[in-house]
Structure 1
Amino acid sequence: MAVIYPAPLRDGDVIAVISPASIIEPDYVTGAVEVLRRHGWTAEVSRHALGRHGSYSGSVDERLADLNHAICDPAVRAILCSRGGYGAVHLLDRFPQKAFMSDPKWIIGFSDISALHAMASSMNVASIHSPMCKHLAADGGNDYCSQSLFSILRGERPEYTTATHPYNKTGEAEGIVVGGNLAVLDALISTPYDIFVRSGSILFIEDIAEPIYKVERMLYRLKLSGIFDRINGLLVGRFTEYNADHNYKDMYDMIREMTSPLNIPVAFDFPVGHVDFNLPLIESAPARLIVDRDRVNLTYRPT
């Protein structure tokens, strides 16, 4: 099936800011709204985006109400998730799929928002794995990652060239780009939102604060279930805030060992994840990956 791209944004279009998971620092939202407005869009903060309900921005019903409103309001053309944390999974079984399919909109975010990207992917709708409010507020929208996000929203398709890594496996591949936070995606395996059911994809993974052995356990699940045999390429993003253990000093050492039998291009240290330089990736969109001795190149097909 051909991927469904939400319409490009024009000046004045509305971007709704929602908090589908954890509590957000209000100043981050205020700063991001200023950036979006300065770049020509109308930014609207959803009713419960700055709320608090335990560790969440609102109850499940409140967070779902904000998501429903953003999806069903024809004036809203993109949905910026304020942050991740935990909680987006609560919304999946009540996600307004019919309304979303009748008028697809860009869903923007990363980390726990990988659950919403998985939802969009199950409907073959493209979404954007990218920085959120904290990043926009901190850098004023002038940095490369923010500018790349804005270009995607306006209808452009990115091409990224990044540095090589000694653990890379060279080669070329084409496929649908899918991925995100490994722990979130692992929890969705065998559900209707399982991104790993796709064959021939370019998979990207990242995570934060997961011990090396837990990441290894998740990768073994992908290996033993045959998922590694079905992908065309692998982007190993940034794994942060973990400690060395008795078996591995570095996360990449373990991942290298896990992926060494693969006969596909593998790029390590790809700039995606819980880091300041977090390249926006279009989920569910076709791209070409080239990994050679001098560079890593990811090019999205024009539409």
Structure 2
Amino acid sequence: MSIKPTRLNKGDTVAVIAPASPPNKENLKRGLKFVEDLGLNYKLGKSLYSEYGYLAGDDEARLSDLNEMFLDDEIKAIICAGGGYGTARIASALDYNAIKNNPKIFWGYSDITFLHTAIRQQTGLITFHGPMLASDIGKEGANQVSKDTFQQLFVPVELNYDSSISQIEELVPGSAEGPLVGGNLSLLSSSMGTPFEIDTKGKILLIEDINEEPRAVDRMLNQLYMAGKLQQSAGIIIGDFNNCVPERELSLSLEEVIDHYIQLAGRPALKGFNMGHCSPHIGVPLGATASMDTKEKTLYVESGIN
């Protein structure tokens, strides 16, 4: 059974953490100003500015930040500064009982996908796949639509995504309903064979990625297909695949690769959603009930908050 976190109110305090890689400091500074502009206070994770190779501090430090922020009664939401690498390293040590007993908004995407999947499947908590403070919002010229997507944390609102937002294309006809799950394809494929393997049965699966050649997308989709994850889903939503272009002369195109596996899966499928490493980037609640209709080219997602 899904758990919806409580909505935010002006004056609330949110946590800003980096459970993966170190964020760009200048971008983060602008991102924190955005948090203030939302009428929120913030508390920074102790490891937010740490650097340990490609990680924002060692595993113990990043894990401690995440666990402590869920246990801190003052904190009403946890917003990730950025993605990168390393969240899977701390997934097995998270205090899932604490998370289940202290449900609150958790927001991020990209490498954060592993935590979205782990937290939802271990606790039932609805989490949010959306643009992050340093990676997206804090960039100069950040898209206002991406900023506006944070408003869903203050007022319960259903997402009605159609071709007025971006060009939607039908890949496999049909309609479907179920919880929305997924996120970054690389992280979904890396969950296979672990205690946090993505469960897609009866669910609408969202996939997106960045900087992966078609051959790599092929490998990951093939893994999900052979494991039954694509064909077990109720439907499939294709988000943004940013800069997923071949670096070699002999290559299938990204479109050919995606179409091959989507047709094999035979589940209702739509592509063209501004979800992922793109601008604008529309945030969505993972675990919330969703429905899709390829004839109408629409995706509806219920509010993820109480």
Length-normalised TM-score, structure 1: 0.92
Q: Secondary structure at the match of 2:176?
A: strand
Structure 2 Cα separation of the partners of residues 152 and 141 of structure 1 = 19
How far 1:70 sits from its partner (Å)? 0.8
- Residue equivalent to 1:58: 57
Answer with 222-231 or 174-183: which moved more: 222-231
- Residue equivalent to 2:29: 30
What are the residue-to-residue correspondences of 1:288-299 with 2, within 5 Å? 288-292=291-295, 296-299=297-300
- Residue equivalent to 2:251: 247
- Residue equivalent to 1:265: 268
Q: Deviations over 1:65-123 (max 9, x none)?
A: 21122111011111111111101111111101111111111111111000110112112
Tell me the number of residue pairs that the alignment of Structure 1 and Structure 2 aligns. 298
Length-normalised TM-score, structure 2: 0.91
Does 1:179 pair with 2:172?
no
Structure 2 Cα separation of the partners of residues 287 and 205 of structure 1 = 15
Structure 2 Cα separation of the partners of residues 276 and 57 of structure 1 = 25
How far 1:144 sits from its partner (Å)? 1.5
CA RMSD of aligned residues (A): 1.9
Q: Deviations over 1:30-75 (max 9, x none)?
A: 2111111111111222221011112211111111121122111011
- Residue equivalent to 2:117: 118
How far 1:140 sits from its partner (Å)? 7.8
Structure 1 Cα separation of the partners of residues 143 and 223 of structure 2 = 40
Structure 1 Cα separation of the partners of residues 62 and 191 of structure 2 = 20
- Residue equivalent to 2:195: 192
Q: Deviations over 1:253-290 (max 9, x none)?
A: 21112212444321122211111122111111111112
Does 1:205 pair with 2:204?
no
Q: Percent identity?
A: 27
Letter in 1 for 2:86: G
Letter in 1 for 2:36: R
5+ unaligned residues in a row in structure 1: which ranges? none
Structure 2 Cα separation of the partners of residues 18 and 99 of structure 1 = 17
Q: Deviations over 1:144-181 (max 9, x none)?
A: 22212222344333222234455622321101100111
Q: Is the 8 A contact 2:169 2:297 kept in 1?
A: no
Answer with 145-154 or 25-34: which moved more: 145-154
Change (3 A) 1:142 1:215: closer
Does 1:227 pair with 2:223?
no
Change (3 A) 1:284 1:101: same
Moved over 6 A (4+): 139-142
Q: Secondary structure at the match of 1:177?
A: strand
How far 1:25 sits from its partner (Å)? 1.3
Structure 1 Cα separation of the partners of residues 264 and 93 of structure 2 = 40
Letter in 1 for 2:184: N
Q: Secondary structure at the match of 2:222?
A: helix
Structure 2 Cα separation of the partners of residues 261 and 183 of structure 1 = 20
Letter in 1 for 2:258: I
5+ unaligned residues in a row in structure 2: which ranges? none
Q: Is the 8 A contact 1:7 1:155 kept in 2?
A: no
- Residue equivalent to 2:127: 127
Q: Is the 8 A contact 2:240 2:272 kept in 1?
A: yes
Q: Secondary structure at the match of 1:128?
A: strand
- Residue equivalent to 2:46: 47
- Residue equivalent to 1:145: 146
Q: Secondary structure at the match of 1:32?
A: helix
Q: Secondary structure at the match of 1:288?
A: strand
Structure 2 Cα separation of the partners of residues 28 and 76 of structure 1 = 23
Change (3 A) 1:91 1:105: same
Q: Is the 8 A contact 2:172 2:294 kept in 1?
A: yes
Structure 1 Cα separation of the partners of residues 236 and 110 of structure 2 = 18
- Residue equivalent to 1:70: 69
